[in-house]
C-alpha cells in the first residue's frame, strides 16, 4: 500500500513543484544550530560529531595529517537569475582550536561557500578545502580562513591570521590577529561574525572572545564583489586540515542567513529539524518554464490550490515515511536478534549500567573512533568485561552493525572474543572479554616499568600474523581489517595478543576486486596505494602489519620526533630502511631492551617489517608467508637495500599521497617520488 501511494503521489507532487517553482521568487534562507546532528550536516574526511559539536580534524596524540569538512545539507540560493540579483549574507559561529602538543601546530580551518556538497581538499596549508587544481577557475569556492601556521609557500604573513580566499589558499587579503588580542591557538572559545553586503560589495569580519557581544569594529573589511563568484545555489560549511600536527578544530554552534533579495518573500516558515535547529526557508531547485510568464487565472489557481495540495501530499508522505521507518527498524532488530542468538548473548542495559557503575568516568579504560570503553564487573558472577559504548552518531551505528556482524561469526585464539551486545534505551553497546594488560601501544610506550620482554614481543608478532592469515585466507569471506595498529592489539593476562576493533573492517569475497571507498584508518599505518586509490585490500593490511612489526622491534611510533630534535619528525619505515641501506639494521633495535634479545630473531623480524611495508604492494608477502617465516618454516624474503621508488599519477600531489611520511620522507635521499 505504501509503495502504491508513493508511486501515485510522486507525479502529482512533482508536477506541483515544477509549476510552483516556475513562478517562485528568490528564497531567503536562515538557520540557527545551537547543536549539530546528522540531520543538519554532511561530514566528509576526518570530521565527526561529538556531543552536539563538530570536530573537523582527527584527535591524536601523535602528529599526523588530517582533513575534514562539515557541510550544511541543503543548498542555499545566492543568485536569482530571474531578477539578476545576488544575496547578501550574515553568519555567526563559535569555534575552538586546541592542541595536546603546542609545539606541533597548524594548519587551521575555513568557513566556505562551494557549488557542491562533496568538497574535500588536501591536508596542510590547503586547509582541507583546496588543492593544486583549485586555481583553474572552473570552480567558485569562497572562504574565510583562520590560519595557525606561517606557510611562506602560500604567502602567509603570520601563524595567527584571518584571510579571505577565492579558489586558492593564497589569500586575497589577510589580517594578523595578535595586534587585536586574538590568539587562535589559545584553546579558548572564539566567536566569529561574517557579513557580506551585496549592494556595497563589502565584506566584514569580526572576532571576539564572547559569543554574546559583537565587537564594535571589525577585524578585517574590504570591498570585493562576491556576486561574480555566486552560483544560483551553493553550499556553506567548514573545513580544516593538519600536516604533521596534533591540532584539533571544533565548531560549537552556527547561525546563517541570506537577505537582500528584492523580490517578495512568499514562503512560510517550515521546520526542518528539532533540537535547537530550524530552517525558515527550504530552497527548492527551480525548473525554468518555456515562457517568462503564465496566465493570471493559472497563477491565481495555483496560489490557492497549490499550497493546499502540497500540504496534503506532505502529510501523506510523512505518514508513509514514518510507517516504513518503524517497520524497517523493527525488522532490523528482529534480524539482529536472530543472527546473534547462535553465539554471543544479549545483555540488558540495567546489568551493564550496574557493572560499570552507571558508566562512571572512573571505569573508562579506552577511547576510540567508536566511543568510550568501560571496565565492567558483573555484580552477580564477578566476571570482568570490556564494554564499548557508542557516541550515538549515525556513523557509529554503521560501525556498530559492521563490527557486530563481522566479529560475531569469527573464531580465533588471537581475536578479542565478543561476549554479547545491548541495544536498549537507544544505546549501542558491545561486550568483550576483558584484557587485563591493556593495549600493545600502552605496553610499548606508556609503561616502561613493565616493558615487554623480547620473547613476548616476538610472540605478539607471530600471533597477529596468525590471526591476519585467518582473516585473509581462513574465513568463508575474506575480512579486511583496515585499521591494524598497536592500539587495536590487546594483551591478555599472559601477554598473548588479541586483535580487536572491527569498526572499519570490510567483508569481501575471495579473489574479488576491491571497491574504492573513502580512506579510513590511521596515518602512519596507511599504505601509499590506499591513500591514492582508496581501495582496501589484504595488501593494505599487510602494510599496516609491517609498521606494527617495526614498532615492536624499535620501540618507536610510526611518526616520531627525531632524537634530540623535537621539531623534526621521522617516519619509522624510512628510518629503519636508512639503517638497513648502511648495513646497520641491528641498530634499529629498541635501546630499552639493553641488548637482551635474540639477534637472529630481531633481524628476521625487522626484515619482515620492511618487506611488509614495501611501497610496491606487489612485492609485499602474504600473511601466510609471513607466518611461515616467523615460525622458521620458510626463508625470509629478499629486501632491497634502497627503499623502492613510488610511482604515482601526475595529477596527484605529493601532499595528497605521501602525507603519512611527513617531513622526513620529503627530505630523505632514500625516498624518491616519480610521476608519469
217 or 418, which is more confident?
217
504 shares a domain with 389: no
Calpha distance 486→553 (Å, rounded): 12
User: What percentage of the chain carries pLDDT values higher than 70?
Assistant: 70
- Structural domain contains residue 618: yes
Calpha distance 289→303 (Å, rounded): 17
β-strand 646-648 against 673-675: which pairing, if any? parallel
Structure-block grid coordinates of residue 98: 586546541
Domain of 266: which CATH number? 2.60.120.200
What's this model's pTM, rounded to 2 decimal places? 0.47
384 shares a domain with 453: no
593 shares a domain with 471: yes
Q: Are 629 and 34 in contact (CB under 8 A)?
A: no
Would you state the torsion angle of the CA atoms of residues 588, 590, 593, 596, taken in this order, to the nearest 10 degrees?
-20
DSSP-derived secondary structure letter, 515: P
650 or 458, which is more confident?
458
Residue 44 backbone phi and psi in degrees, to 5: -125, 155
Angle between helices 454-469 and 599-612 (to 10 degrees): 40
Residue 76 backbone phi and psi in degrees, to 5: -120, 135
Q: Map 599-648 to HEC letters.
A: HHHHHHHHHHHHHHCCCCHHHCCCHHHHHHHHCCCCCCCCCCCCCCCEEE
Residue range 269-277: mean pLDDT, rounded: 36
Residue range 342-358: mean pLDDT, rounded: 83
- How many domains does the structure of the chain reveal? 3
Structure-block grid coordinates of residue 50: 561529538
94 shares a domain with 236: yes
Inform me whether the pLDDT recorded for 365 exceeds 50. yes
Least confident of 7-16, 297-306, 412-421, 600-609: 7-16
Structure-block grid coordinates of residue 619: 612485492
Q: How far is CA 28 from the centre of its chain?
A: 32
Convert the pLDDT of each residue in 25-49 to its tens digit: 666 888 999 888 877 888 888 888 8
- Structural domain contains residue 338: no
In 3D, which of 460, 619, 627, 620 has the Cα closest to residue 555?
460
* Count of Cβ atoms closer than 10 Å to residue 587 Cβ: 12
- Structural domain contains residue 294: no
Terminal C-alpha separation, the chain: 57
Least confident of 322-336, 408-422, 583-597, 616-630: 322-336
469 shares a domain with 378: no
Structure-block grid coordinates of residue 123: 591536508
Q: Are 506 and 536 in contact (CB under 8 A)?
A: yes
603 shares a domain with 551: yes
147 belongs to the catalytic site: no
DSSP-derived secondary structure letter, 203: E
Q: Find the helix or strand (DSSP H, E) in which 97 lies.
A: strand 88-98
Half-sphere exposure of 349 (CA within 13 A, CB side): 7
Residue range 9-21: mean pLDDT, rounded: 41
Inform me whether the pLDDT recorded for 173 exceeds 70. yes
415 shares a domain with 534: no
- Structural domain contains residue 1: no
Check residue 522 and give its pLDDT: 67
DSSP-derived secondary structure letter, 347: P
DSSP 435-461: -TT-BHHHHHHT-GGGPPPHHHHHHHH
SS3 551: helix
Convert the pLDDT of each residue in 97-123 to its tens digit: 998 887 778 899 999 999 988 888 888
554 shares a domain with 478: yes
Structure-block grid coordinates of residue 163: 584571510
Structure-block grid coordinates of residue 425: 534505551
The residue from 433, 467, 488 where one domain ends is 433
- Structural domain contains residue 332: no
446 shares a domain with 378: no
Calpha distance 567→571 (Å, rounded): 13
Half-sphere exposure of 392 (CA within 13 A, CB side): 10
SS3 665: helix
Give me the domain span that covers residue 605.
Answer: 442-675
191 shares a domain with 50: yes
| All residues at 6 or more sequence positions from 182 whose CB lies less than 8 Å from its CB, including other chains | 160, 190, 207, 209, 219
The residue from 433, 459, 485 where one domain ends is 433
DSSP-derived secondary structure letter, 279: B
- Give residue for cell 590547503: 126
- Structural domain contains residue 328: no
Q: Where do the H-state alpha helices sit in 452-585?
A: 454-469, 528-533, 538-554, 572-581
- Give residue for cell 618507536: 556
217 or 302, which is more confident?
217
Give residue 135's pLDDT band: very low, low, confident or very high (50, 70, 90). Answer: very low
In 3D, which of 151, 56, 153, 155 has the Cα closest to residue 109?
56
- Structural domain contains residue 329: no
Domain of 514: which CATH number? 1.10.510.10
In 3D, which of 520, 535, 407, 526 has the Cα closest to residue 471?
407
Q: Are 642 and 629 in contact (CB under 8 A)?
A: no
Q: Are 112 and 119 in contact (CB under 8 A)?
A: yes
The residue from 265, 285, 305 where one domain ends is 285
Q: Are 94 and 252 in contact (CB under 8 A)?
A: yes
Least confident of 291-305, 314-328, 419-433, 634-648: 291-305
504 shares a domain with 612: yes
Residues facing residue 421 across a β-bridge: 346, 430
DSSP-derived secondary structure letter, 474: I
337 is in an annotated binding site: no
Convert the pLDDT of each residue in 532-579 to its tens digit: 777 778 898 999 999 999 999 999 999 877 665 555 788 899 999 999
614 or 567, which is more confident?
614
Q: Are 183 and 209 in contact (CB under 8 A)?
A: no
Check residue 308 and give its pLDDT: 62
565 shares a domain with 655: yes
Calpha distance 432→355 (Å, rounded): 13
User: Which of 159, 165, 483, 660 is labelled catalytic?
Assistant: 483
395 or 47, which is more confident?
47
- Structural domain contains residue 315: no
In 3D, which of 536, 571, 532 has the Cα closest to residue 554?
571
Amino acid at each position: 500500500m505504501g509503495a502504491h501511494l508513493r508511486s501515485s503521489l510522486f507525479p502529482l507532487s512533482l508536477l506541483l513543484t515544477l509549476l510552483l517553482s516556475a513562478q517562485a521568487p528568490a528564497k531567503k534562507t536562515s538557520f540557527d544550530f545551537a547543536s549539530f546532528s546528522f540531520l543538519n550536516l554532511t561530514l566528509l574526511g576526518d570530521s565527526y560529531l561529538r556531543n552536539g559539536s563538530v570536530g573537523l580534524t582527527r584527535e591524536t596524540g601523535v602528529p599526523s595529517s588530517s582533513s575534514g569538512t562539515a557541510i550544511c545539507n541543503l543548498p542555499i540560493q545566492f543568485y536569482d537569475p530571474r531578477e539578476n540579483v545576488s544575496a547578501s549574507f550574515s553568519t555567526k559561529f563559535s569555534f575552538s582550536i586546541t592542541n595536546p602538543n603546542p609545539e606541533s601546530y597548524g594548519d587551521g580551518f575555513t568557513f566556505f561557500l562551494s557549488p557542491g556538497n562533496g568538497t574535500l581538499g588536501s591536508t596542510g596549508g590547503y586547509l582541507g578545502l583546496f588543492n593544486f587544481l583549485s586555481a583553474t577557475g572552473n570552480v567558485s569556492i569562497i572562504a574565510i580562513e583562520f590560519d595557525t601556521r606561517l606557510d611562506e609557500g602560500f604567502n602567509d604573513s603570520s601563524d595567527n591570521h584571518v584571510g579571505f580566499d577565492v579558489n586558492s589558499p593564497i589569500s586575497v587579503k589577510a589580517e594578523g590577529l595578535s595586534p587585536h588580542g586574538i590568539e587562535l591557538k589559545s584553546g579558548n572559545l572564539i566567536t566569529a561574525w561574517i557579513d557580506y553586503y551585496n549592494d556595497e560589495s563589502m565584506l566584514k569580519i569580526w572576532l571576539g572572545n564572547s559569543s554574546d557581544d559583537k565587537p564594535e569594529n571589525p577585524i578585517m573589511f574590504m570591498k570585493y564583489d562576491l556576486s561574480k563568484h555566486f552560483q544560483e545555489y551553493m553550499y556553506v560549511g567548514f573545513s580544516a586540515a593538519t600536516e604533521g600536527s596534533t591540532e584539533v578544530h571544533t565548531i560549537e554552534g552556527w547561525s546563517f542567513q541570506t537577505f537582500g533579495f528584492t523580490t517578495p518573500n512568499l514562503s512560510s516558515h517550515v521546520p526542518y529539524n528539532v533540537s535547537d535547529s530550524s530552517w525558515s526557508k527550504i530552497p527548492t531547485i527551480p525548473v525554468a518554464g518555456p515562457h517568462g510568464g503564465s496566465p493570471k487565472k493559472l497563477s491565481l489557481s495555483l496560489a490557492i490550490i497549490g499550497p493546499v495540495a502540497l500540504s496534503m501530499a506532505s502529510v501523506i508522505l510523512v505518514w508513509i515515511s514514518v510507517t516504513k521507518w518503524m517497520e524497517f527498524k523493527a525488522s532490523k532488530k528482529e534480524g539482529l536478534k536472530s543472527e546473534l542468538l547462535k553465539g554471543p548473548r544479549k545483555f540488558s542495559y540495567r546489568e551493564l549500567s550496574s557493572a560499570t557503575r552507571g558508566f562512571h568516568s572512573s571505569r573508562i579504560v579506552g577511547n576510540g573512533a567508536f566511543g568510550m570503553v568501560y571496565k565492567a564487573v558483573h555484580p552477580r558472577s564477578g566476571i570482568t568485561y570490556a564494554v564499548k559504548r557508542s557516541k550515538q552518531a549515525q556513523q557509529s551505528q554503521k560501525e556498530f552493525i559492521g563490527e557486530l556482524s563481522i566479529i560475531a561469526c569469527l573464531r580465533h585464539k588471537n581475536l578479542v572474543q565478543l561476549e554479547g551486545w545491548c541495544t536498549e534505551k537507544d544505546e549501542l553497546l558491545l561486550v568483550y572479554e576483558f584484557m587485563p594488560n591493556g593495549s600493545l601501544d600502552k605496553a610499548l610506550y606508556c609503561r616502561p616499568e613493565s616493558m615487554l620482554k623480547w620473547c613476548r614481543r616476538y610472540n605478539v608478532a607471530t600471533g597477529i600474523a596468525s590471526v591476519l592469515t585467518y582473516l585473509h585466507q581462513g574465513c568463508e569471506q575474506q575480512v579486511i581489517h583496515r585499521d591494524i595498529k598497536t592500539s587495536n592489539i590487546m594483551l591478555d593476562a599472559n601477554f598473548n595478543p588479541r586483535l580487536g576493533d572491527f569498526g572499519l573492517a570490510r567483508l569481501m569475497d575471495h579473489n574479488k576486486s576491491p571497491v574504492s571507498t573513502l580512506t579510513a584508518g590511521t596515518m602512519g599505518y596507511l599504505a601509499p596505494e590506499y591513500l591514492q586509490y582508496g581501495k582496501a585490500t589484504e595488501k593494505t593490511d599487510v602494510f599496516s602489519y609491517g609498521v606494527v612489526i617495526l614498532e615492536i622491534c624499535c620501540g618507536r611510533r610510526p611518526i616520531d620526533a627525531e632524537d634530540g630534535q623535537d621539531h623534526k619528525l621521522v617516519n619509522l619505515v624510512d628510518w629503519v630502511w636508512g639503517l638497513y641501506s648502511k648495513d646497520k639494521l641491528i641498530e634499529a633495535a629498541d635501546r630499552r631492551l639493553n641488548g637482551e634479545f635474540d639477534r637472529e630473531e630481531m633481524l628476521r623480524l625487522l626484515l619482515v617489517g620492511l618487506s611488509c611495508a614495501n611501497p610496491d604492494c606487489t612485492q609485499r608477502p602474504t600473511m601466510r608467508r609471513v607466518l611461515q617465516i616467523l615460525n622458521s618454516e620458510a626463508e625470509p624474503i629478499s629486501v632491497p637495500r634502497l627503499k623502492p621508488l613510488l610511482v604515482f599519477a601526475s595529477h596527484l600531489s605529493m601532499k595528497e599521497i605521501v602525507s603519512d611520511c611527513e617531513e622526513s620522507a620529503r627530505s630523505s635521499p632514500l625516498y624518491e617520488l616519480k610521476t608519469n
